[in-house]
Copies of this chain bind each other. A is one copy, B any other.
């Protein structure tokens, strides 16, 4: 039998996994809305973000309540605090999916993505889906080996992002300024989505291995690593 405290922790874990599912679904549908210029799908992604926000609010309320009632220390305290940070990452991932959907809505009935760049955006969407699904598995399994796989997905996102910029800059005079603006922002949304997924996985690793403070440094370093490779 689990005690009430650990049952609450299980609930938190389940809800975090559910948040990864919702964020992944949102990003997948946002990408489709973008490619197909499907404004109804875009609207549904934008509206559905409320659900993710609501789960995050409930999770945070539960965590605060746990802190007040159970006054956990040591590992249990770290789990609760880290869970609040994971829910923050996941809520932000939902925001980023919504941003992608808003670009689709803004340009409707036009397509925001020129035909020559559709393949790259589709691939970024696929990597985003994979990385958040893996983040969900890591939260559920606490498997630190699986957590490392997210770094590879993140490398793939880097590579796609670099190729997208290269394509935008290589074709001088081909793309309208609006297209360059849209693709620059979209590239950043997909990149940050992957960053937050890696951050979630690293938080799990550091919970398991007990190195608490490192997670923040490493969240930072996700972006630093990428910048170094992208901007050289």
Interface residues of A (CB under 8 A from B): 53, 56-57, 60-61, 64, 67-68, 71, 73-74, 77-78, 81, 84, 88, 91, 95, 99, 102, 106, 165, 168-169, 171-173, 175-178, 180-181, 184-185, 188, 212-213, 216-217, 220, 223, 227, 231-232
Question: Does B181 lie within 8 Å of A169, measured CB to CB?
Answer: yes
Residue of A57, A84, A216 contacting most chain B CB atoms (<10 Å): A216
* Cβ distance A68 to chain B, nearest Cβ, rounded Å: 5
Q: Which of B74, B168, B223 contacts A177 (CB 8 A)?
A: B168
Counting from the closest, the 5 A-B pairs by CB-CB distance are A71-B71, A184-B184, A180-B180, A68-B73, A181-B184
Chain B: minimal CB distance from A184 (Å): 4
Chain B neighbourhood of A88, CB < 8 A: 88
Q: Which residues of B contact A168 (CB under 8 A)?
A: 177, 181
| A67 CB contacts on chain B under 8 angstroms | 67, 77, 81
* 16 further interface pairs, Cβ-Cβ under 8 Å (given A60-B216, A64-B78, A169-B181): A53-B216, A60-B213, A61-B213, A64-B81, A64-B212, A71-B71, A91-B216, A99-B227, A102-B227, A165-B181, A168-B177, A168-B181, A169-B177, A180-B184, A184-B184, A188-B188
Number of copies: 2
A71 CB contacts on chain B under 8 angstroms: 71
- Bound-state Cα–Cα, A60 to B220, Å: 15
Chain B residues near A180 (CB, 8 Å)?
Answer: 177, 180-181, 184
* Chain B residues, Cβ within 8 Å of A53: 216-217, 220
User: For A91, what are the chain B residues with a Cβ–Cβ distance below 8 Å?
Assistant: 216, 220
Interface contact A223-B95, CB-CB below 8 Å = yes
Kindly provide the distance from the CB of A114 to the nearest chain B CB, expressed in whole angstroms.
13
Supposing A68-B73, A81-B64, A213-B60 touch, asked if A177 and B181 sit within 8 A by C-beta, the answer is no
Query: A227 to B102, alpha carbons, bound, how many Å?
Result: 9
Residues from chain B with Cβ under 8 Å of A227 in the complex: 99, 102
